Amino acid sequence: MEQKSRLLKRLNELHGIVKAMSRETDHKKLLEMTVFGARLLTNADGGTLYFRDKNQLKFEIIFNESLKIHMGGSSHENLNFDPLPLYLDGSPNLNNVACYAVINDQIVNLEDAYLTQDFDFSRTRQFDKQTGYRSKSFLTIPLKNHEKEIIGVIQLINAQDEDGNICSFSQEDQMFTEFLATLAAITLTNYTLIQQQEGLFVVFADVIASAIDDKSPHTGKHCHRVPIITMMLAEAAAKANWGSFTNFSMNENDRKELHLAALLHDCGKITTPVHVIEKSTKLETIIDRIQLIDTRFEVLKRDLQITYLNKKLDLVQSQAQHEFTELESELSQKLNKLEDDRKFVREVNIGGEYLDDDKLDRIKQIGRMRWINEEGLEDNFLSFDETNCLSIRRGTLTSEEREIINRHIDVTVMMLEKLPYPKHLARIPEFAGGHHERMDGKGRPKGLKRDEMSLQARIMGCAEVFEALTAKDRPYKKGKTLSESLKIMGVMAEEQHIDQEVFTLLIDSGVFQDYANQYVDPSQFDEIDHSTLRGYLPVEARSKNDESEVVQLPKIAS
């Protein structure tokens, strides 16, 4: 009956140890729990855990209750011991009991280390002499994972009976420790696999981000700058205590998840044609077609000069040279008009924030001018496509090209939703895929509204806009000043393109300035009066209770 009770107690202890280990996510604590659990099951005074690193055993944990030794693991004591070589000059190191257990895949249970002739315990005897300790019984068990590979060794020392006297490790001790060692090895292997999976995912994310940045020198480093400002803004959100930020916090896994999502937020651009990403002017395709139009203007000037030279000849023949002055004045005016039109087309070709109706009409008028083309036929000065490109109101992309660019959002979500994730990284597709959603539900790819989006996605959306506005390496624009950037974002916040609370946090937390100090050119710094910004929430207008509520302020007149 007593033996049954003792066995039941051990089973309960084993159950508790295994249950605790299954919940633990800290690698160092897992190692310690393996040693402490084995000690508890066997009432051992000490224990050592080794990990196999190719052909050597590295010390991971050393613990001894009597000597108050705790090294490695979560302790602050470093293990500065040389690893144990499994082979010496190519021969198996069978003199060391831990190495012997690994090489022969065998449990070694010694009643008294001093009495054995099979292993070299000279270092143990030296340690005992220095400390006054007596190392006696040893239980050495290989740690084997689910594929029966030996990944390490657990070694227990000095089993104790109920009176605290040193005794040998029983067969029951050995059985329970072997079972625990197997479970521990599998748990540690699973943890390592998870870490490797996460490590692989981190490398994958970084490689994809680097590939996209390298694909376009004009947007280089965008994929690496967005995570920086995203994390700065997220940390500020965790410190804030109003609105959506009241109950927001992040642990290390949350930080990893958001950082990786930010790195991958534009991964769909891997499929976007380079000539679209790199389009720095409205007429650019393989070349900037402004050069062809320049040539046409020269042809018009040449033809005009030829026409007027012929008129001069006619005047000479009719002895009306007194009309030369008027003729030359007329020619000069027309040549100047052509030169003005050429300068205008070149300026329009660069792109900008807005092209008004008068300029659109002028482009159409220039397009309808006639010239003799390379085939000797009279034709419109600008083709339909050239007129269409020059008529782009904002930026350098046509609606078709902008749709190609925007499709990267759909591709991003499609790519990320196909990837397998550890549980703590499962929200990456939602975070990364939501940076082009709008608070009013008119964004893409899913048309989500504000209350359907995570705070992290809204943070990333705001961070991405600020980086894009201030970036000085875009092909179609110069980096905007801080005041211009915040003014544009304020309008976007007011019109529910970006989150109003996050925009306010960007300003109040000083994140915009902290980021700018590191990544924005000093020439873009200027004075900012945030109280005049549209979309900025003053303190009294900020929601304290309802996380989904955003107070709409009256519009400030432009």
- Encode pLDDT of 58-117 as tens digits: 999 999 999 999 998 888 788 888 999 999 999 999 999 999 999 999 999 999 999 999
Give residue 473's pLDDT: 61
The answer to whether residues 278 and 420 touch, using CB atoms and an 8 Å cutoff, is no
Structure tokens at 370: 């006639």
The answer to whether residues 187 and 146 touch, using CB atoms and an 8 Å cutoff, is no
Looking at domain 2-194, what is its CATH homologous superfamily?
A: GAF domain (3.30.450.40)
Q: Is the alpha carbon torsion for 453, 484, 505, 232 positive or negative? A: positive
Give residue 403's pLDDT: 79
**Pick the residue with more confidence: 118 or 543?**
118
| Angle at 48 (CA atoms; ends 166, 148), nearest 5 degrees | 115
Task: Report the CATH number of the 216-269+422-541 domain.
Answer: 1.10.3210.10
Using the predicted structure, report yes or no on whether residue 143 has a pLDDT greater than 50: yes
Give residue 326's pLDDT: 87
CA separation (Å) from 509 to 238, 459, 502, 504, 506?
11, 13, 10, 8, 6
Q: Identify the bridge partners of residue 56 per DSSP, sorted by sequence position.
A: 85
Are 2-194 and 216-269+422-541 equal in CATH topology? no
Q: Give yes or no for a cis peptide into 445 (omega within 30° of 0).
A: yes
Give residue 318's pLDDT: 82
Give residue 550's pLDDT: 42
- Write the single-letter amino acid at 240: A
Burial (CB < 10 A; 0-12, 13-18, 19+), residue 483, is middle
Using the predicted structure, report yes or no on whether residue 516 has a pLDDT greater than 80: yes
**C-alpha to C-alpha distance for 40 and 32, rounded to whole angstroms:** 12
Q: Identify the bridge partners of residue 449 per DSSP, sorted by sequence position.
A: 440
What are φ and ψ of residue 497, in 5° steps? -80, -45
Q: Is the alpha carbon torsion for 449, 454, 459, 465 positive or negative? A: negative
Question: Mean pLDDT lowest for which of 114-118, 125-129, 412-416?
Answer: 412-416
What are the boundaries of each domain within the chain?
Answer: 2-194, 216-269+422-541, 290-396
Give tens-digit pLDDT for 162-175. Answer: 888 999 999 999 98
Task: Sort strands 378-380 and 84-85 into parallel, antiparallel or unpaired.
Answer: unpaired
Q: Is the alpha carbon torsion for 241, 244, 249, 250 positive or negative? A: negative
Confidence of residue 553 (pLDDT cuts 50, 70, 90): very low
Confidence of residue 1 (pLDDT cuts 50, 70, 90): low
CA separation (Å) from 53 to 85, 103, 155?
10, 13, 17
| Angle at 222 (CA atoms; ends 219, 228), nearest 5 degrees | 165
Give tens-digit pLDDT for 272-303. Answer: 777 777 777 888 887 788 999 999 999 999 99
Confidence of residue 552 (pLDDT cuts 50, 70, 90): very low
- Write the single-letter amino acid at 420: P
pTM above 0.75, yes or no: no
Confidence of residue 364 (pLDDT cuts 50, 70, 90): very high
Question: Mean pLDDT lowest for which of 242-251, 374-383, 390-399?
Answer: 390-399
Give tens-digit pLDDT for 4-25. Answer: 666 677 777 766 777 777 776 6
